[in-house]
Amino acid sequence: MKKLFSVCLDFIFPRHCCVCQQHLSASNYRYLCDSCARKIIFPSANLCQRCGYDFGADCSEGSKLCPRCLGQEFCFKSLRSAVRLSYVTRNLVHQFKYKNGDYIVYDLCKIMRKNAHFMAFIGGSTLVPVPLHWRRKFLREYNQSELLVRHLAKFPINSKVLHLLKRTRHTRPQVGLRATERRSNMQKAFAINPKIKIPLDTRLIVFDDVLTTGSTINECCSVLKKHGFSNILAATFAQVSRD
């Protein structure tokens, strides 16, 4: 019955790829055509051991840190991203965050599931979404990071979602800010949710949609670390490439 209803709905309101606008008569995704899906770039196995930056297949393999991690002290043990931020994934994220694109969450989760290493990384963890200030959440109508982890937790990865952090300060949007400005903008923007009590050795993964400089996610991890948590990791849907 649900499949019949979906077919009827597609007939009345035809779906289009949210990247290239092509009509979706058939696709492995709901709002992404197969042609655009094939352009998604998944990370290689040659990653920065701390932040998961993709050195690429042409770089010599081995345990190493990228320039960002050599020049900045992060409060998470390691971070992994499901995809690299490219033309396709950038469009998906933009639609998801700024164009009331909450319906794209199913496709984003399907993309993440294709990265087996990423799914293994977040499995068996407590997923902590980066919180939005209530004003921004009111305008956007949802927290994109929270929506992503809520759907990810439905898959058999033995993970749960916990709102361990809360937003304490309304900040400027990070888009367009330099790295130093991003770090300053995020200072004292988060706090522990005092209503939640869990063991301090719980495997926590702070989750956000995109990693750019790492300022937002690192500030969240810093708050957790100061509170006494010892097993802090991080994950994002996409990571900005610095090619």
Hey, is 206 helix, strand or coil? strand
Burial tier of 155 (Cβ tally within 10 Å: 0-12, 13-18, 19+): middle
Q: How far apart (Å, rounded) are the C-alpha atoms in residues 95 and 72?
A: 31
The residues, ordered by sequence, that sit 6+ positions from 144 with a Cβ below 8 Å of its Cβ are 96, 97, 102, 209
Q: Assess whether pLDDT exceeds 70 at residue 144.
A: yes
Which range is least confidently modeled, 56-70, 109-123, 128-142, 151-165?
56-70
Q: Which amino acid is at 8?
A: C
Whether the pLDDT of residue 11 is over 50: the answer is: no
Backbone φ and ψ for 143, nearest 5 degrees, come out as -95, 115
The alpha-carbon radius of gyration of the chain (Å, integer) is 18
Confidence of residue 216 (pLDDT cuts 50, 70, 90): very high
79 contacts 98 by C-beta, under 8 angstroms: no
pLDDT reading at 3 higher than 60: no
Take residue 36 and report the two structure tokens written for it: 């655009």
Q: Given this model, what pLDDT does residue 36 score?
A: 96
**Whole-model pTM?**
0.88
- What's residue 151's pLDDT? 93
Residues 6 or more apart in contact with residue 64 via CB below 8 angstroms: 48, 49, 55
